[in-house]
Structure 1
């Protein structure tokens, strides 16, 4: 080669290109390299870059019934037996564990039967009181009927004595008139007797007639006052009879109302016993804790046999095996205006290989598409907004073996800008451009665009 020591380089000087190459200085090479690098940097700065927002999240579900569910005990008691273990697969309705009672009022094994007997006894007692009410109604009806008959009888007697008083009054008036006539005749007969015109016998006859008229007047007057007293007595008897029967009816009515009150009290106690009996039967069902849904048993809080638990205390957790996947992420308030419902995002699940170019989502590998499904309107305790992401229909499906709670990185895609603009924005600490995503085109819109 011409670069070896024994090579004569002078014979190549006749070539113009060799001469220029041998005469080039190191400074010229540096300039060329710098120009090339600057051209490459300029080209790179002009390349498009997709602005994005990154946030960590976890796999969850929008359906509350498909999230991990705590299994709590409804009653306090003592754990008697476990039917499952951690990691076991259960179906809805499977028995998880058994709890026995610890309170004195529930220890009787025949508690429901004894309560049923009390309920039957109270029903019988209530029926007796209702029968007493019906008997009182019959007594009241009989007393009212008897009172009406007695009043009718006394009213008839009252009418009779009123007529008797009128008759006696007329007889007394007639006797008084007859006495007046007898008195006038006696005086006239006396004058005629003293004048010698009438005999002593005739005079004595007039005296006898006067005495008879006087006796008759006194007799009719006594009879009149007796009839009047009888009429007053009938009125008093009528009033006394009404008062007497009113007292009897009031007494029976009081007994009736007492029976009604006792019957109503009995019905209230019956309702209370029915409620108590139902609660006892329902409480008996709570002795066996059943799986509320199908899934896997995790996080058994209580262990062993004989441990006591309180009402409402957590026993274990069941994670559903099949659920509609969604991602729950927390977004900073500064980035919240850039997130909207229906916005396209990229998802990288933990444990799944991926090559991510955040500015070039089309060139990334191992990412899955999703869309924003819901956004909370209020901030949470950590000072961030909760956002839910669902799989994007029509895109690559999310991995089937992604489990509940799997971590992930969510990249929300925004505007396409040059790289130099993105560098300038980040150096100055400016937020990304406000971005309004275009609505997803429907089949109808696609058909109209083709026309």
Structure 2
């Protein structure tokens, strides 16, 4: 060394002789620090073995438990033009109250008395239907009368035919008798002629027998004519029988054809009546649709179509309404990797936006400002945001949710899983492992 100072550097310097060294190098500091480190080490060992509740976090919003309780828009099933508003935004309406009145914009419905005129057409068609029914009844009676008359005429013709047959048989028998008489007259004439030639009979007797022979021949010829006439009468009776059958058959067929035509017209009229009644009912219902009414009791949120004279198409939303009676629920969205960890009936803690809360995710019992819920539905298809939707209802065993919570406000959820040591949770988080997959005890018992 250069030895430019009188102070020795190779000798040990006692810092305790200095004032600062006296304040810093006191032995009591080491004792307190060692005690603190020992207590902290013991506390850390105890801490890592404390139970930690695994959770699945999610974000969502407040909704209602059933679909009919959620905010909705009211549409018109027909196109129209706004004519008059009966409510203002924020008004409370009962079910069935009129919200607004619309008018028609389609030219085929411009007639204000369209339903009444259609009703008149229905009544006219019904009267026409009654006329067809009466005509069918009359034709049926006419067919019956023709059938009875035909049977009587046929019976009369059959009787006449029988009479002609019997007359022909009688004439045939008479013809045979006249033939016998003729043969007798011929034999007598021949005998008298022979006797006359022998001189035993006079010429007068011969002439008398000749006269009787001629009379017998004339009577035979006359009887043959009568027999032929009788046979002609039989043919005429058969022709008359066929004529009557054909004549009345034609009349009955024509009456039946007229009745079938009337029945066809009646059926067509019935179809027209049904069609007109359907149109009449549609027109009446369409007139009723001009008044847009509240489907349920609630508050008018917003008039989507405003002003007067504004036109819209069928199905366009006109006004939004929020039901007055509803049961709150929370819809939350979880990652697909966490979906197998959730089951219906499991407990969930909720923190509502706007409500102060102190949340310890691993110790839900010491959290403040959170509310209990229960899983009631899990969606089976992924949502557009890439997560699965889970519906939560209020836990009846926990304290009730705030009454001031409104549908649509935000909410953060913590689904409670099984309890694990803190060291295991730290190890899981450091390695990026998912929470433990498990099956609730209630579900295991149900499966067994």
Q: Same fold (TM over 0.5)?
A: yes
Q: Deviations over 1:391-448 (max 9, x none)?
A: 11121001111111121111111111111100111222211112333449xxxxxxxx
Distance 1:257 1:22 in 2: 130
Which residue pairs with 1:437 in the alignment?
440
Distance 1:153 1:188 in 2: 52
Q: How does 1:30-69 map to 2 (within 5 A)?
A: 37-69=40-72
Mean Cα deviation higher: 303-312 or 331-340: 331-340
* Cα RMSD (Å): 2.6
Does the aligned pair in 2 maintain the 1:342–1:439 contact within 8 Å? no
Asked if 1:261 is matched to 2:264, the reply is yes
Q: Deviations over 1:328-360 (max 9, x none)?
A: 122222112211111111111111110000011
Asked if 1:70 is matched to 2:78, the reply is no
| Alignment counterpart, residue 209 of structure 2, candidates 206, 210, 224 | 206
| Alignment counterpart, residue 154 of structure 2, candidates 151, 173, 193 | 151
SS at the partner of 1:240? Answer: helix
Aligned pairs, how many?
Answer: 426
Which residue pairs with 2:6 in the alignment?
none
| Alignment counterpart, residue 386 of structure 1, candidates 374, 385, 389 | 389
Q: How does 1:30-429 map to 2 (within 5 A)?
A: 37-429=40-432
Q: Which runs of 5+ in 2 are unaligned?
A: 1-14, 444-448
State the 1:24 CA deviation: 4.7
Does the aligned pair in 1 maintain the 2:16–2:25 contact within 8 Å? no
Distance 1:227 1:377, change over 3 A: same
Q: When the two structures are superposed, what TM-score results if normalisation uses the length of structure 1?
A: 0.88
State the 1:29 CA deviation: 8.4
Q: Which runs of 5+ in 1 are unaligned?
A: 1-8, 12-17, 441-451
SS at the partner of 1:75? Answer: coil
Q: When the two structures are superposed, what TM-score results if normalisation uses the length of structure 2?
A: 0.89
Distance 1:156 1:58, change over 3 A: same
Does the aligned pair in 2 maintain the 1:391–1:397 contact within 8 Å? yes
SS at the partner of 2:90? Answer: coil
State the 1:87 CA deviation: 2.6
Does the aligned pair in 2 maintain the 1:50–1:358 contact within 8 Å? yes
SS at the partner of 2:295? Answer: coil
Q: Deviations over 1:130-173 (max 9, x none)?
A: 22222212222222222122112111111111110110010011
State the 1:237 CA deviation: 0.5
Mean Cα deviation higher: 158-167 or 23-32: 23-32
Which residue pairs with 2:12 in the alignment?
none
Distance 2:322 2:294 in 1: 11
